[in-house]
């Protein structure tokens, strides 16, 4: 860069509002390389065992067959490697499978078996992988729910939560229950699923009127439902209403929580 042509009167420096154009004067990004925390992978199935490499150890992997109509398959390290959920259907959790679908989470990616859902011969697939942190811990920030296990990566704004519901009251009211998410910032997207039954996928999104969307249906925003208790999450908890899809006594659930990180992730809406 050339020297500044215009200086402050009586000084030998530019205005304090301006800096030289070089990398040293750029703001330090929160996450310099997004592929250290999230990655998208494409592969051709081989009907055997296959490993997919990432630059981090993934904790949540979402796979879809691209060349056919096989269902989405979602796996996370908290529930266990080969236990699948299907984002396009209300089915309960399945697995372990034979042959294995996702056989292991590895230090540099994940490994799969010969299942046609994820690795069939002649088919092509896509997978999305997230880094959920380094350890799974118990969390007692919430109330009413029990057995809350959280694997959180606050730096990347992502956590995986499993919990047992606490509500046994009638549906469509505020249960007073909640679960801790471990992010230290309010999540703006929360995707929940009942693991032990055929219930839909309730979705909270910060840009909508308080209510719920449904991942596996074409439903409009449900503003009459108390799925998320008609409350925004806080920096520590996600609120739950009385509804078997999200909070039924003695039933097990999983939640994927996303908080925005400047320069890396954002949640919004559009017309």
- The alpha carbons of the chain give a radius of gyration, in whole angstroms, of 22
Sequence-ordered list of residues with C-beta below 8 angstroms from that of 261, at least 6 positions apart, any chain: 30, 31, 155, 156, 157
User: Which pLDDT band holds residue 11 (cuts at 50, 70, 90)?
Assistant: low
What secondary structure does DSSP assign to 61-87, as a single string? EEEEESSS-PPPEEEETTTEEEEEE-T
| Contact criterion met (CB below 8 Å) for 259 and 253 | no
Look over the chain and give the mean of its residue pLDDT values, rounded to a whole number. 93
Query: How many helices (H) and strands (E) are present in the chain, helices listed first?
Result: 1, 17
What's the predicted TM-score (pTM) here?
0.91
Q: Give the lowest-confidence range in 19-33, 147-161, 201-215, 232-246.
A: 19-33
Q: How far is CA 80 from CA 45, 94, 163, 232, in A?
A: 22, 11, 14, 29
């Amino acid at each position: 860069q050339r020297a500044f042509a215009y200086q402050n009167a009586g000084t030998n420096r530019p205005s304090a509002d301006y800096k030289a154009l070089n990398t040293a004067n750029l703001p330090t990004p929160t996450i310099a390389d997004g592929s250290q925390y999230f990655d998208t992978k494409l592969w051709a199935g081989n009907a055997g065992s296959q490993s997919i490499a990432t630059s981090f150890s993934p904790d949540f992997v979402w796979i879809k067959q691209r060349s056919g109509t096989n269902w989405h398959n979602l796996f996370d390290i908290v529930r266990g490697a080969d236990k699948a959920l299907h984002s396009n259907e209300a089915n309960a959790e399945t697995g372990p499978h034979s042959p294995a679908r996702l056989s292991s989470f590895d230090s540099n990616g994940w490994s799969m078996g010969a299942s046609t859902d994820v690795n069939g011969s002649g088919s092509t697939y896509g997978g999305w992988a997230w880094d959920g942190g380094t350890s799974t811990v118990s969390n007692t920030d919430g109330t009413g729910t029990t057995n809350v296990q959280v694997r959180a990566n606050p730096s990347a704004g992502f956590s995986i939560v499993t919990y047992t519901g606490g509500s046994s009251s009638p549906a469509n009211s505020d249960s007073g229950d909640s679960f801790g998410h471990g992010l230290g910032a309010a999540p703006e997207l929360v995707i929940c699923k009942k693991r032990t039954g055929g219930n839909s996928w309730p979705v909270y999104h910060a840009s909508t009127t308080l209510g719920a969307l449904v991942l596996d249906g074409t439903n409009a925003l449900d503003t009459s439902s108390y799925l998320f208790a008609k409350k925004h999450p806080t920096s520590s908890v996600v609120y739950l209403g009385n509804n078997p899809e999200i909070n039924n006594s003695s039933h097990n659930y999983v939640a994927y929580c996303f908080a925005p990180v400047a320069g890396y992730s954002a949640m919004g809406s559009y017309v």
